[in-house]
Chain A
Amino acid sequence: MTQTVTKLQCAALVMTTILPTAVLILPKTVMNSVAQDAWISLLVSTLGGVVAAFALGRFAAGTKGGVPFQKGLGESTGRVLAALAGLALAAYYFSIASTALHEFITFISAEMLEYTPKIVLKGAAVLVLMYIAAKGIEPIARISVLLMLTSFPLLALSVLLTISKMTWRQIEPVGEHSWTTIALGGVTPLGWFSEVAIVLLVAPYMIRPKEAVKGAVWGVLLTGTELIVMVLQSLFVFGPNLVRSMEYSMVDLVGLIEVGNFVERVEVFFITFWMSTVFLKLGIFLFGTIHLLETTLKLPFDRSPLLLGVGLLLWADTSYNWPHDMNQDLTTGITTAMLLVCNLLFPLALAVLGRLMRANKQAEGGADA
């Protein structure tokens, strides 16, 4: 395990893990709850995300550089618990990769390739993901930085090009909903922000693992900022009622952009850029699965057979495990709960347990002495 990931790359990895799917789903789901106050909900959930990032970052920063997360966990909580945690997290990352891949291909199929069988698209995507996972976290981190740096000017450009279509009064009345409703509207985004837990796997690869806290917090802050800008942009252009009726408001928003009569229908370029971010996101999840299985099972062979097996399983799971396209309940209800439990509660419980066990051991050592 070589330690090459920098703080900037860590922040970019966090952003890549959260943003690609959040950008499609969140505007609609948050506006469903709090309409024109969606941006306030997002602001609140971003602050919640920062707290989560800080907590998870602290836990991650405690790991030894060069020692995989699962192995480090074994040193504090014991082998059995660490093995169970490793397998559980691997299952979680696999499950979420499968869900996100299904969503991704459903979107591609609906927007771009409606006549191509989804199973073919999923097969092609899995091959790409296997290649990404095989190359490890370092290339993913490097490309994440490039995509992050590209996303800022692109976002600014899209705001600039849609500014003539914006109606500022669309967000009025500000704060119409109660604080409880606004806070509840922020629960779904918080689920997405909790994916900052990826920092637990990234920290051991960092040149200075202690910087995991800053990387995680900056990642959440940048993601939150971009999401708020996007939600405000959708609000100003379409208003809350229209956004709620749109499946993918960001795509429709970019679709409005026209320069003269020769640059139009740029949503395809947006989708193309977005596709690259989703590939990376899914690549991170598949890498997480492989990495956790590898370190937990201590397989006596190299990564390739495991990668092949998990890749095939992912293809089969994402192709045949969904009786129909996922509906809103599935993506917002169950997924949010799962995200919060697996990304936030479970790792924090492990951190507390590890600390208690260490304290217990120290007390025992002191008593023996």
Chain B
Amino acid sequence: MRWFGHMLPFFRRSGRAKRRDSASGSRQGPRDSEDLTASLSRSLKKNLSRIRSLFGDSADLTVRELGGRPGDSEVSVLYLESIVDSDFVNRYVMTPLVEWTVGRLHGDRISRLRETLPVGRLVEMDKMGDLLTHILNGYTIVLVDGTPMGFAASTTGGERRSVEEPSSQTVTRGPKESFTESILTNMTLLRRRIKTPDLRVESFTIGRQTRTFVNILYIDGIVLEKPLTEVRDRLSRIDVDSILDSGYVEEYIQDELWTPFPLMQNSERPDAVAAGLLEGQIAIVVDGSPFVLLAPTTFVKFFQSSEDYYQRYDIASFLRIIRYISFLVSILLPSLYIAVTTFHQEMLPTPLLISLASQREGIPFPALVEALLMELTFEVLREAGVRMPRVVGSAISIVGALVLGQAAVQAGLVSAAMIIVVSFTAIANFVIPSTNMSSGARLIRFVLMLLAGTLGLFGIMSGLMVLLIHLVSLKSFGVPYMTPLAPIVWGNMKDVWVRVPWPLMKTRPIAHFQRNKIRQGNSFAVPSKHDRKKGEKSP
């Protein structure tokens, strides 16, 4: 297993793979710029001195000199002890090197060195910047005196979280694996699912200080060139100190900053990302983040769950419709309640009106204030639930339900109807499969509540109109966000409101993403009536 992990850099560089260093060149500080673009010297002594100076004699920088006295050796091995697999370094780098230094007088030294090290891939480099990037990412560097180049062997190790069940995108039926913080593990999880040489990987290094590996993955032949070029260009333009999570990358490269709607998907599920790749999306894997980004995306994608494709199409379609309704409830229910109880009481049937009026009798606040108080209270509870230690999480539920619900009604501060509205809104919000989309819905809800409280249904409609215009003008890497609804693409409606049975989805759902639209032949297990008749007629 470990060998597979060490072979991964090979895959990462297959196909069109190139490492692009957006953190090098003129964007560096004055000292960095000079040091990092410089070539390696022929003198091992000089190289070691420069590396030590760049690292400021860090305690975990290990420099092992072989084939001579310290300071006058022929070969040096460098690595950061904290992020390499020491056992692997000793067994597959140090031991062969010691043997090599003994027999160094025979034949071409460098060719023998390449043959001697039993590692999956040995990267050769001649720039100090490349050397630093590799050493900081857990590679072991071998420098040979008299040779102006270094060799990096993949020895990445250190503590890592194992593959666990997804925590934010759970399913009852389907794979139970989720991504981890290790880019290598994440690549493994994807490669295991898509076993085609057309899966291409390109690597970038972003962040002046963090030098984070960012890989983009796509399937050649399915992905469209325009969004791919956009992704490459935007990633290359990122110039920042640190990239600590895929969230950083998302904000830097999304089309529109000023929007409550997510313009890129993120997923911690390898199966969801694999499905995206097969539909022509581009995956962006960031080292250190268990959330992989997918672009381009559309509004309807945020209402599709992995489970939709694993369980029967009828229940999947039903649940999807429920999700759309829940989204509408999530953004509209409190504002509609405010508008109706404040401005348009005539809309309500008389018995309901009397019931609501009797409940609101004695409530000291107008409906808007009442709703805002309850919604804010719920947001506080929700935030507390996330931040509190898990052991006291249940206490929060009790406090929320009893104190803020029952007690508030009994004290006459809020009406029971308002509690129902706020609770149902909150539950509806949790139905949305994407956390990003549900967060956007929470913000929109507050704006609509204010509009409803001041201008009633007219205010809500004004807000919705702005929202609708905003939605249809959004783009994700050149793809209209509301595709296939606006603009309408009739052929792509098979996976929007409902999910039709798999054998009927002969084309990939979003035609704007990919070149190769056909994804299956005639996959019906049971021949259709027409085919059976044809079969009977033919001899």
- Chain A interface (Cβ < 8 Å from any Cβ of B): 4, 6, 8-9, 108, 112-113, 116, 120-121, 124-125, 127-128, 131-132, 135-136, 138-140, 142-143, 145-146, 149, 261-262, 264-265, 268, 271-272, 275-276, 279-280, 283
Residues B455 and A124 in contact, CB atoms below 8 Å apart: yes
Interface range on chain B (Cβ under 8 Å from partner): 20 to 34
**The one of A108, A127, A138, A146 that contacts B458, using a Cβ cutoff of 8 Å:** A108
> Smallest CB–CB gap between B346 and chain A, Å?
6
User: A139-B469, A139-B473, A143-B469 known; A121 and B458 CB under 8 Å?
Assistant: yes
Q: Check: B404 CB closer than 8 A to any chain A CB.
A: no
Residues A132 and B457 in contact, CB atoms below 8 Å apart: no
Residues A143 and B472 in contact, CB atoms below 8 Å apart: yes
5 A-B contact pairs sorted by A residue (CB < 8 Å): A112-B457, A120-B455, A139-B469, A139-B473, A276-B461
Which of B18-26, B322-330, B485-493 contacts the other chain? B485-493
Contacts of B347 in A (CB 8 A): 265, 268
Residues B472 and A139 in contact, CB atoms below 8 Å apart: yes
The residue in chain A whose Cβ has the minimal distance to the Cβ of B451 is: A124
Q: A112-B456, A132-B466, A276-B464 are in contact. List 15 more A-B contacts (CB 8 A).
A: A108-B458, A124-B459, A131-B469, A131-B470, A135-B469, A139-B469, A139-B472, A140-B469, A145-B486, A262-B349, A265-B346, A265-B349, A268-B346, A268-B457, A276-B468
Q: Check: B272 CB closer than 8 A to any chain A CB.
A: no
| Assembly CA distance A113 to B458 (angstroms) | 8
> Smallest CB–CB gap between B69 and chain A, Å?
70
Contacts of A121 in B (CB 8 A): 455, 458
The residue in chain B whose Cβ has the minimal distance to the Cβ of A120 is: B455
**The one of A139, A149, A279 that contacts B462, using a Cβ cutoff of 8 Å:** A279
Q: Check: B380 CB closer than 8 A to any chain A CB.
A: no
Contacts of A279 in B (CB 8 A): 461-462, 465
Residues B343 and A113 in contact, CB atoms below 8 Å apart: yes
Contacts of B346 in A (CB 8 A): 265, 268
| Assembly CA distance A138 to B482 (angstroms) | 13
Residues A128 and B466 in contact, CB atoms below 8 Å apart: yes
| Assembly CA distance A143 to B488 (angstroms) | 10
| Assembly CA distance A173 to B68 (angstroms) | 117
User: Number of contacts between A and B (CB, 8 Å)?
Assistant: 86
Tell me what chain B mostly uses at the interface: helix, strand, loop, or mixed. Answer: helix
Contacts of B13 in A (CB 8 A): none
Residues A131 and B486 in contact, CB atoms below 8 Å apart: no
Contacts of A108 in B (CB 8 A): 458
The residue in chain A whose Cβ has the minimal distance to the Cβ of B340 is: A268
> Smallest CB–CB gap between B353 and chain A, Å?
11
The residue in chain B whose Cβ has the minimal distance to the Cβ of A109 is: B458
The residue in chain B whose Cβ has the minimal distance to the Cβ of A105 is: B458
The residue in chain A whose Cβ has the minimal distance to the Cβ of B351 is: A261
Q: Check: B344 CB closer than 8 A to any chain A CB.
A: yes
Closest 8 CB pairs of A and B: A142-B486, A139-B472, A139-B473, A142-B472, A275-B461, A279-B465, A135-B473, A128-B462
The residue in chain A whose Cβ has the minimal distance to the Cβ of B344 is: A268
Residues A145 and B488 in contact, CB atoms below 8 Å apart: yes
Contacts of B459 in A (CB 8 A): 124
Residues B465 and A132 in contact, CB atoms below 8 Å apart: yes
The residue in chain B whose Cβ has the minimal distance to the Cβ of A268 is: B347
| Assembly CA distance A264 to B347 (angstroms) | 8
Residue picked from A132, A142, A264, most chain B C-beta under 10 Å: A142
Contacts of B486 in A (CB 8 A): 142-143, 145-146
> Smallest CB–CB gap between B343 and chain A, Å?
6
